Structure 1
Amino acid sequence: MTAAVTTVGLEQLDVVAGAPAGNLALAVHRSTAAFRAGADVVVLPELAISGYVVDADLARAVAEPLDGPALAALGAVAAAHDGLIVYGFAEAAGADLFNTVVAVGPDGPVLHYRKLHLFDREKAVYTPGDLGLPVASTRHGVLGVCICYDLRFVEVLRALSLRGADLVIAPAAWVGGFDRTVPATGATGHVASVLAQANLDQVAVVAVSQVAGAAHGGPATLGGSIACDAYGELLAGPLSRTAPDSALATVDLAAVHAARVRGERIRPREDRRRDVYTLHYQGEPV
């Protein structure tokens, strides 16, 4: 049975590039703390286990298979607390490396996603994702996932929302390089993009970034993680721009569904002119 609300723990981590054992220990600690604080779902950043690695040799050395140490350790935490953990890692699959996110619950993986849109130096290390944009019906609502740069392609959140997602979870390692300027404090352009799309697509979004990675061999990740409702209004964040941080956000699933009708004659999904345009997902219109 789907819960009326779900509490999401945002766990913004400062991880070490190329140090999976230490990062995994940190992920276990922070996930456990979030569950004890009341979270039903815990969200960790992009590449939280491997660190943000864009050196091909190092990435190969720290990558692990889907059923590797991270899944075993975080799956055990999820089972102990009857919850769900969403985390990013460098996945080894045959000769390929993927920038991957998994949602693991008490009974194992619920969602397995490989980043579709590789950013900058990722293109020289990782293979573009080949698992599409999965959604899964859970007792926490219908969940979808994407990763960081995927959020800059409006088709991603649109496709996930039209395929039924109530909540899209987006682990990230936000950096500069897309927007002309990055403010020193407060919300970045990444946040503005998420809030606008959540409102337009009538879907709640939780985006959790790495922070301050330049101190540990990674890029200058920006933090500023957020959660928002289906009107694009903040439920939590932006979190710290310079330090590890945590927050809880309560997502009201009934309110997400209600947001899809904005008035008696304002129904964004019904008002789409599918006779003029449409969006196809894997060859089928949505």
Structure 2
Amino acid sequence: MNAIEVNNVSYKNKRLDLKDISFEVPQGFVTGFIGANGSGKTTLVRLIMNLLTPQSGSIRLFDQFMRQDEINIKEKIGFVYSELYLNEKWTIKKAEKMIAPFYKNWNHDTFHDYLKKFDLPYKAKIKTLSTGMKMKLNIALAFSHEAELFILDEPTAGLDPIVRNEVLNIIQEELLNENKTVFISTHIISDLEKIADYLVYLKDGKIILNDYLNEILNSYKIVRGESETLDEELKSLTVYCEEARTGYTALTQEAHVFEELFGNKVMIDEPTIEELMIYLGKGTVLKSNSHESYGNDVL
């Protein structure tokens, strides 16, 4: 079962053009949502949360359209914006008083546990909090009403490495219950290396990756070898290829061909998520008979 299903969604404004976007977020896993700045990640998050209306297509959460039961659906979601949209004059105590009534499963004790963990004074005014402290408050609010789905838009932005690691550990702990699902949009790719099970990659208004991370990493490999062994036929088997004096580095789904031809004269490694994003981001779309694949740019 999928916690989120986005089907052929299109949305266009002056800054971006999302075209027939389709992907799913499987229940019980951490899905990383990546893409360059300005690619439309935050817009898609807002479309999912019904803060914007798609111009075509549909979005389902928990197998329902948001318009069918928006109050109950949103009660199941712990949503963390990239910024904290609360009255700066409120104290944290006042923020809880205003927010708690919207959730029938609000847990005061859980909220206070997070405040202690994040060293957030209950009576502190929001305007006195640093950017990092505001993000921690945002997370504490989202994680204190027994949500089933957590939608996190840049949740570790502004946090120092120690606190960021703590937040990621908390996200992992939430998944001890197999019904919990996390959809995390972030530009800090190292965060996803630590926690992601599934990956969605948005590029130029289109989804170019949408699969379990282990399947992606098993499919794509980085090959390094001597430039003089690389001809145009081999280049055509790469997603992206770059050459330097020391040799070539290529991303490919046909690593076995290179291995069969050159054996231990080539190095074959599993890519990191960051390398996938970089090389697929540089690649160009090639049409195949059954689906869209990605090939190397002209060198």
Normalising TM by the smaller chain, what interval?
Answer: 0.3 to 0.5
Query: What TM-score do the two structures reach when normalised by structure 1?
Result: 0.33
Larger radius of gyration: 2
Query: What TM-score do the two structures reach when normalised by structure 2?
Result: 0.32
Structure with the bigger percentage of helix: 2
